[in-house]
Amino acid sequence: MYYFDYLRVRGALRVFAIILACVTLLLCISLTFSHAHSGGSSVTIGSETVSTQDYSGLALLHHLGETTWFPFGLFCGIAAMITIFFSNALATSLARYNGNLHFAFTKPISRERSALRTYAIDLAALFVGFLIALFFVFVPFTVVGLLGRLTFGPTSLAPIAIGLGIAFMWYGMIQAVTATMRGGAGLVLGLSWGVFAVMQGLQNLSTDLVPEIVVRSIHLLNILNPFIYLNTIFGTTGGQLTSDDTLAPHYFQNLATVWIVALVALAIAVVQRKRMEV
């Protein structure tokens, strides 16, 4: 089963890397062949405002590179966001075993140990996925020679902790729901996107429209919504692309919440598998 897990995460990482390589290639081509055009909008980074009417894609980046410093935390945040979506590729790993449990001829091990091993492998794969995403995020900036304009601050690595926490939280909740399912785990994963998106949209629902108890219930349920915490990732740059010195509001509270929810959800999945009958 160790080898099966290895093949599973290797395949997921390979597909993930190929997709990112294709997207990055298209982005680099787009930047290379884009042209300035009339009626363009403006781009503001820090105190620098540049009109896209005056610069093509590469020229715009070069101009910004001459006047602007880019925080390392911004790139970590983008890579962490990509890794959150990659976690979906691993989130039904326990359910994959369920259809073949009665055909298992390997040396038996406890289900708790088997689940914990799967968690460890998937968490390692998530971190590797983050490194792959970070590499491809840097490629366009390397192409235009802007790596020398990076800045590092006290919160540069903060997006990694919250980003991987959100990824593992989503992963854990899907595992908790699908741990004993012998089919339909992919459907549950797909539906989670819609459920989380709708719940996020209802987060700012006014008490003028619905009773207060409904609003409070939505806020309580949204504690389990990964989408609610996404702003915390990019908030670690303090809303400025020229600083890595400011944490997002409630950063440590959100950090603790996502990791606690992840661990509780994974524990629930382990308990469910222990009680599952073959």
* Residue 168: domain span: 69-275
What confidence score (pLDDT) does residue 71 get?
81
Low-confidence ranges of the chain (pLDDT < 70): 1-2, 31-68, 99-109, 235-246, 248, 276-278
Beta pairing partners, 70: 150
pLDDT digits (tens, 9 = 90+) for 148-201: 778 887 778 888 999 999 999 999 999 999 988 877 888 999 999 999 999 988
Domain presence at residue 23? no
- Residue 17: Cβ-neighbour burial (10 angstroms; 0-12, 13-18, 19+): middle
Pull the structure tokens for residue 187.
């459907």
What confidence score (pLDDT) does residue 38 get?
42
Question: Among all chains, which residue has been given the structure tokens 């009958």?
Answer: 277
Domain presence at residue 171? yes
Contact between residue 164 and residue 262 where contact means Cβ atoms under 8 Å apart: no
Rounded Cα distance between 30 and 183, Å, is 41
Domain presence at residue 229? yes
Cβ-proximal residues to 239 (8 Å cutoff; 6+ apart), any chain: 246
Burial 195-222 (b: 16+ CB within 10 A, else e): ebeebbebeeeeeeeeeeeebeebeeeb
Domain presence at residue 64? no
Domain presence at residue 105? yes
> How many domains does the chain fold into?
1
Rounded Cα distance between 252 and 79, Å, is 20
Torsion over CA of 46, 47, 52 and 57, rounded to 10 degrees?
A: -50
Domain presence at residue 15? no
Domain presence at residue 37? no
